[in-house]
A and B are shown apart, each in its own frame.
Chain A
Amino acid sequence: MNSVVFLVVIPLIAAFLSLFLETKNKIIMYLVTFFNLLFTIFIFKSGCIPFNVAIGGWKAPYGINFVVTDITIYFLLLVNTAAVISITLVKDIKEYQFYSFYFVLLAATNGMVLTGDMFNFYLFTELSTFAIAGLVAYKRDRLSTGAALKFLILSSTASLFSLASIGLIYKTLGTLNFADIAVKLPSLNQASFNLILILFLSSMLVELKIFPFNLWVVKSYEGSITSVNMFTHGMLGTAGIYGAVRILLIVFPNMYKTNISTILMILSFMTVIIGEVGALKEKI
């Protein structure tokens, strides 16, 4: 099943092609999205799950690899179904940039779910960040420009923290592969483990829209058009949840005294309460 990489490669080629196909962009958008959904269903039905794809022929800890497991395939279906639903809301848009951003976002969310490498995951999150920032700024008026700028500054600061944590992981464990990290992690010191975890968690919270970093959400939802809101929540949210679940609960399991589930539960509880209070204060 090496061909699973097509899920990422085909939308990226379409992103380049959309520079030229001025009026046919919408057809290409439907074609690529339905291709992704059908291909995912084909993989789901093919019955060779779980499997592991080594890109470039380099085997698992040394090269980049895609991992497809039972949970992955369901999240892949969710992401692609969300994409199909949200493109039905796209009205007549002429700018080719919109379609390019959409294709890159589709590739990035598929890749975030599929990838099995730490640095590759970081790159996919960066890609989705830029695509979302471009889509939020699509209306180019006062509200959307401010929202996009604030989102970009916040998320790039957060992604620098995750880059530092990737460096620390490579220095201490000497590997970047998720499965390899999970095997080697118990030999790490408690304090070092906590530092890496804090750095990585603070960057994941931005993608997940959890309390201390969720202030960008309101402005960006106000400032962007409806289909972009669907992209942000349906595609990026789903992919981000899967990435967080895999990285926080499988790669960094509950070990020693740090209980991640409790921390996440407290934070999400606070998110709900503070979000509701903020919504009540908002004038209609």
Chain B
Amino acid sequence: MTKVFILSSLSLVFVGLYGVLTRKNIVKILIALNIIETGINMLLVAFGYIEGGLTPILQSDLSIANLDKMVDPVPQALVLTSIVIGLGTTAFALALAIRYKNTHNSNLITATDEEG
């Protein structure tokens, strides 16, 4: 199971990196950035996974007896933070992209910055 998770998240990271490096449309670049971010988040959670692990929520005395079998809660907490940061990045960059379209009259990242 762990191998499936890690390989799938790494593949997402590489596909997203390819997109960021080769695409020229700004919206496509931002989508690719989001794909990388999803991949990294999955990688972090997969690092905390153990085979046959339990959800880290205490429901009864039975779950307190099985604390060693629970998956690692710290990467999940970090990923909760990083998802929200990703939303912030996307929102800010999209607003900049709309203004970029207004000022440059183009949605390609290669448009020149000089006037005229």
Enumerate chain A interface residues (CB-CB to B < 8 A).
119, 123, 126, 130, 133-134, 137, 140-143, 145-150, 152-153, 156-157, 160, 163-164, 166-168, 170-171, 176, 219, 223
Contacts and interface: CB of A to CB of B under 8 A. Distances in A.
Interface string B3-36: 0000000000100000010000010011001001
Secondary structure call for the A interface? helix
A152 B113 contact: no
Interface of B: 13, 20, 26, 29-30, 33, 36-37, 40, 43-44, 47-48, 74-75, 78, 81-82, 85, 88-89, 92-93, 96-97, 99-100, 103-104, 109, 111, 113, 115
Contacts of A157: 20, 33, 36
Contacts of B37: 160
Given A142-B113, A167-B47, A170-B47, A119 B78 contact: yes
B29 A147 contact: no
B92 A130 contact: yes
A164 B40 contact: yes
Contact of A156 (B33, B78, B111): B33
Contacts of B26: 149
A153 B103 contact: no
Contact of B89 (A143, A156, A164): A156
B113 A143 contact: yes
Contact of B96 (A126, A149, A171): A149
Contact of B40 (A130, A167, A219): A167
B93 to A, nearest CB: 5
A170 B13 CA distance: 19
A183 B8 CA distance: 33
B115 A142 contact: yes
Contacts of B111: 146
Contacts of B30: 153
